[in-house]
């Protein structure tokens, strides 16, 4: 497996486009706000969505559309979330009709996504007016992936895309993805959209199994602010144009495909955590020595969600007591008397707690370590073989500034 250029267009047969439709007139004039993804042929498809009880209209529509395990096109907009919005469901259905006609795709194979402000009517008239140009711009190039990746950005400060080449069934296959997400990010997915494309041939059942497994170990292990969105979506499309025998059972080919999907999602989820609203540090927490993986995951999530720990990381303050406290209220039994905590980065590692008690360490050395871009919190419970890693970011003054007037 090796990284390649092309993003979501790296897999054979996928074309993308993105442009400014003016969905929200106040948006910057140079900001793409509408994107389209189309496969040359129908695809096996699977998706996972927000577990929030309040779901946006596009989420509800896509859940219905994916029941047959097939899709070929996806339209997505930023600026307006089409969640709890006037005419939300009708607007989604209209988008399906428009894309079906313009891209010559069955209506049942069209998916819809939105991200942005909740509660406002989505300007479907602007989408309809822009669609002919959007279809005309469809292309298989890396630039087309870039245009689509930028169309889904909201408060993101960096574009998020990646692609890999891998071998499966004696054939060279490709998998790529784009995502957006910076705030309202919480385990069980946050305000994130993620689209994955592959030219590997995979059955719908195995595609769904791989997606749920990978999302559980990547996107569901990140948190920026503890707020879960109404629009979270992660969709994968597999068109089979790589020419491998269809992966329909677990085995070496399935493992190779799942590993490639994991590589894409791991890269994207870490980038989302790093790009948290106002963030200055990527915060990684690895818990080892837990009774099992589930316990380790719960504990690591508790640490990355701790506002006090996040604030300490922002200030490069080795306040390990906040980490131990966050472990203690996670709801997972463990023996505090066996806990070891260390802070690490590219500058090295400093142990700050042994057997649940503070140890002497250099505050100057600790600060040097904590000033690095990625800060790692290592927790060892010394009780079992369970291990999990979760990702978050520090809590800064800018987070409040960004969210204080996000709607207005």
* pLDDT score recorded for residue 244: 98
Q: Where are the alpha helices (DSSP H) in 108-217?
A: 124-136, 142-151, 204-217
Q: Which residues pair with 18 in a beta bridge?
A: 35
187 has a pLDDT exceeding 60: no
Query: For residue 224, what pLDDT band results from cuts at 50, 70 and 90?
Result: low
Q: Which CATH number fits domain 2-274: 3.60.70.12, 1.20.970.10, 2.70.150.10, 2.160.10.10?
A: 3.60.70.12
Per residue in 136-180, pLDDT tens? Answer: 999 999 999 999 999 999 878 889 999 999 999 999 999 999 999
Single out the residue of 40, 35, 36, 45 nearest to residue 12, CA to CA: 40
CB 239 within 8 A of CB 13: yes
CA distance 77 to 79: 7
Single out the residue of 141, 227, 241 nearest to residue 188, CA to CA: 227
CA distance 213 to 261: 10
Q: Looking at domain 282-404, which CATH architecture does it have?
A: Roll (3.10)
Single out the residue of 189, 285, 263, 291 nearest to residue 232, CA to CA: 189
CA distance 126 to 34: 10
Question: How large a percentage of the chain has pLDDT more than 70?
Answer: 95
**CB within 8 Å of 193: residues ≥ 6 apart:** 76, 113, 115, 152, 179, 180, 181, 231, 232, 233, 234
Segment 317-344 shows an average pLDDT of 97
Q: Provide the phi-psi class of 104: left if phi over 0, else alpha when psi is between -120 and 50, else beta.
A: left
- Pairing of β 193-198 and β 233-238: parallel
Which has the minimum average pLDDT: 12-21, 115-124, 351-360? Answer: 115-124
* pLDDT score recorded for residue 190: 46
Residues of the chain with CATH 3.10.20.340: 282-404
- Three-state SS annotation for 49-89: ECCCCCCCHHHHHHHHHHHHCEEEEEEEECCECCCCCCCHH
How many Cβ atoms are within 10 Å of 300's Cβ, its own excluded? Answer: 29
Residues of the chain with CATH 3.60.70.12: 2-274
Query: For residue 407, what pLDDT band results from cuts at 50, 70 and 90?
Result: low
Please provide the distance, in angstroms rounded to a whole number, between the alpha carbons at the two ends of the chain: 45
Prediction pTM value: 0.92
Task: State phi, psi for 167 to the nearest 5 degrees.
Answer: -105, 135
CA distance 316 to 341: 16
Single out the residue of 326, 16, 305 nearest to residue 150, CA to CA: 16
Query: For residue 398, what pLDDT band results from cuts at 50, 70 and 90?
Result: confident
CA distance 57 to 54: 10
380, two tokens: 């060892």
Segment 345-360 shows an average pLDDT of 98
Query: For residue 225, what pLDDT band results from cuts at 50, 70 and 90?
Result: low
Single out the residue of 349, 350, 344 nearest to residue 375, CA to CA: 344
185 has a pLDDT exceeding 70: no
Average pLDDT, the chain: 93
* pLDDT score recorded for residue 181: 79
* pLDDT score recorded for residue 189: 46
Per residue in 53-98, pLDDT tens? Answer: 889 999 999 999 999 999 999 999 999 999 999 999 999 999 999 9
324 has a pLDDT exceeding 90: yes
**CB within 8 Å of 153: residues ≥ 6 apart:** 31, 32, 78, 159, 180
Catalytic residue numbers, as ranges: 191
Residue with tokens 């997972």: 332
Buried b (16+ CB within 10 A) or exposed e, 35-53: bbbbbeebbbbbbbbbebe
Residue with tokens 């891998």: 166
């Amino acid at each position: 497996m090796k990284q390649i250029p092309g993003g979501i267009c790296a897999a054979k047969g996928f074309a993308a486009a993105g442009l400014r439709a003016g969905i929200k007139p106040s948006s910057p004039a140079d900001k793409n706000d509408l994107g389209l993804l189309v496969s040359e042929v129908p695809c096996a498809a699977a998706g996972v969505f927000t577990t929030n009880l309040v779901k946006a209209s596009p989420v509800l529509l896509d859940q219905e559309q994916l029941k047959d395990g097939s899709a070929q096109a996806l339209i997505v907009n930023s600026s307006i979330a089409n969640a709890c919005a006037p005419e939300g469901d009708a607007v989604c259905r209209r988008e399906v009709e428009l894309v079906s006609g313009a891209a010559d795709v069955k209506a049942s194979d069209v998916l819809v996504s939105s991200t942005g402000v909740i509660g406002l009517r989505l300007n479907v008239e602007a989408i309809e007016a822009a669609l002919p140009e959007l279809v005309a711009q469809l292309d298989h190039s890396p630039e087309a992936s870039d245009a689509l990746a930028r169309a889904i950005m909201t408060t993101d400060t960096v574009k998020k895309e990646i692609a890999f080449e891998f071998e499966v069934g004696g054939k060279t296959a490709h998998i790529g993805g784009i995502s957006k997400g910076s705030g309202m990010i919480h385990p069980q997915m946050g305000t994130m959209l993620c689209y994955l494309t592959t030219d590997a041939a995979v059955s719908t059942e195995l595609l769904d199994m791989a997606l749920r497994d990978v999302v559980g170990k990547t996107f569901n292990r990140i948190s920026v602010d503890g707020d879960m969105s109404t629009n979270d979506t992660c969709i994968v499309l597999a068109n089979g144009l790589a020419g491998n025998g269809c992966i329909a059972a677990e085995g070496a080919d399935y493992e190779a495909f799942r590993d490639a999907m994991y590589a894409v999602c791991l890269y994207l989820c870490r980038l989302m955590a790093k790009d948290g609203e106002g963030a200055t540090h990527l915060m990684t927490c690895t818990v080892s020595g837990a009774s099992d993986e589930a316990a380790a995951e719960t504990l690591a999530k508790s640490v990355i969600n701790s506002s006090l720990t996040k604030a300490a990381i922002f200030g490069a303050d080795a306040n390990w007591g906040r980490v131990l406290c966050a472990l203690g209220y996670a709801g997972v039994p463990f023996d505090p008397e066996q806990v070891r905590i260390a802070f690490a980065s590219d500058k090295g590692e400093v142990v700050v707690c042994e057997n649940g008690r503070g140890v002497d360490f250099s505050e100057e050395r600790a600060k040097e370590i904590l000033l690095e871009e990625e800060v790692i919190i290592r927790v060892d419970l010394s009780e079992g073989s369970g291990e999990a890693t979760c990702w978050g970011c520090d809590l800064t003054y800018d987070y409040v500034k960004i969210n204080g007037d996000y709607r207005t």
